């Protein structure tokens, strides 16, 4: 039912102030979880879901992010000379084909909706995905691939959703469910950052979206929402009034909020423990730390 999704927008224009002083010179998106930058996890997820065109909405000071996806001939030559074939293979995954990647500047931080709107000329009249690299999702089948498969049945708009404690719902866009079908939930509305007493559910929208081109047209209105920003949630909710359905998707996997220091540290530990080359040494260390802190108590 849904048209094929081949384009994805990655909004990466944020300043990353929570990670200062590191982000004074390093874009947050290329800070590493173990040895891969956040943005690499997002790119790999998009590729697995069949995305062919990658659109980054950036801002001043993100040059290192753009360079990351470029070929590095001198480095490759050195590795080849030293016979480090495994590292050469690792590097290959970071290279993007010429023309597959585009960079658009967002000159003013006017909200996530505005960042997505900045890419409108490259999207045209097609459905598109939005991936927020801050949300890293560990899953057997990548979250976006799960969504693409569900979207082929539903069409309309689809957002990744997860249950959060009711007191935390005010930090998210929240679904107002109309019909809960298990992994897919049809919504009758969406609210951005509701006050705890006004939250219609505890189903929070997290950073994966498959959106109809009508959402881009809604963003054209540049209406300000919560916090005086142009909210993507509002533009998606508007589609419901226009007869374009919106579905929440309960994905299988664990989401880490790498926009927060605690979430970033948790993800680092979790991903390191998945690595055969690191697991045993790290596990031993964590056991030593916890047993010595328990003894101190």
- Average pLDDT over every residue of 159-181: 87
d(CA 143, CA 155): 17
pLDDT at 104: 82
Per residue in 182-193, pLDDT (tens digit) is 889 898 888 888
Instruction: Give the best-scoring range by mean pLDDT among 57-61, 127-131, 291-295.
Output: 127-131
User: What are the chain's domains?
Assistant: 7-155+207-242 (3.90.550.10)
Per residue in 70-99, pLDDT (tens digit) is 667 777 777 777 777 777 777 777 766 766
> For residue 202, what pLDDT band results from cuts at 50, 70 and 90?
confident
pLDDT at 263: 93
pLDDT at 254: 93
Closest CA to 183 of 202, 217, 167, 160: 160
pLDDT at 150: 93
d(CA 117, CA 122): 10
Hey, which residues does 59 pair with through a beta bridge?
none
Closest CA to 251 of 144, 165, 169, 178: 144
Closest CA to 215 of 146, 159, 151, 171: 159
Share of the chain above pLDDT 90, in %: 29
d(CA 213, CA 119): 12
* Strands 203-211 vs 128-131: parallel, antiparallel or unpaired: antiparallel
The whole-model pTM stands at: 0.87
Per residue in 233-282, pLDDT (tens digit) is 888 888 888 888 899 999 999 999 998 999 999 999 999 999 999 999 99
Instruction: Give the best-scoring range by mean pLDDT among 79-93, 99-113, 220-234.
Output: 99-113
Residues 6+ apart with CB under 8 A from 6: 50, 51, 52, 53, 126
């Amino acid at each position: 039912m849904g048209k094929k999704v081949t384009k994805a927008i990655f909004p990466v224009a944020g300043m990353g102030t929570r990670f200062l002083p590191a982000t004074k010179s390093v874009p947050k998106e290329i800070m590493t979880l173990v040895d891969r930058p956040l943005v690499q996890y997002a790119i790999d997820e998009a590729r697995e879901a069949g995305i062919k065109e990658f659109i980054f909405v950036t801002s001043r000071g993100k040059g290192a992010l753009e360079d990351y996806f470029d070929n590095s001939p001198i480095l490759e030559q050195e590795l080849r000379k030293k016979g480090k074939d495994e590292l050469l293979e690792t590097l290959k995954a970071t290279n993007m084909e010429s023309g597959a990647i585009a960079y658009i500047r967002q000159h003013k931080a006017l909200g996530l909706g505005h960042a997505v709107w900045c890419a409108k000329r490259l999207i045209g009249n097609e459905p598109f995905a939005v991936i927020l690299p801050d949300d890293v999702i560990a899953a057997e089948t990548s979250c976006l691939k799960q969504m693409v498969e569900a979207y082929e049945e539903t069409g309309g708009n689809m957002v990744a959703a997860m249950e959060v404690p009711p007191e935390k719902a005010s930090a998210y866009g929240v679904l107002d469910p109309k019909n809960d079908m298990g992994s897919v939930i049809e919504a009758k509305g969406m609210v951005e950052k509701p006050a705890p007493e006004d939250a219609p559910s505890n189903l929070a929208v997290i950073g994966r979206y498959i959106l109809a081109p009508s959402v881009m047209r809604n963003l054209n209105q540049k209406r300000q929402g919560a916090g005086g920003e142009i909210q993507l949630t509002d533009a998606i909710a508007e589609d419901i009034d226009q007869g374009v359905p919106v579905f929440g998707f309960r994905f299988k996997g664990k989401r880490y909020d790498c926009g927060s220091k605690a979430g970033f540290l948790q993800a680092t530990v979790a991903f390191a423990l998945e690595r055969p080359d690191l697991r045993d040494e790290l596990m031993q260390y964590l056991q030593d730390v916890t047993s010595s802190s328990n003894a101190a108590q």
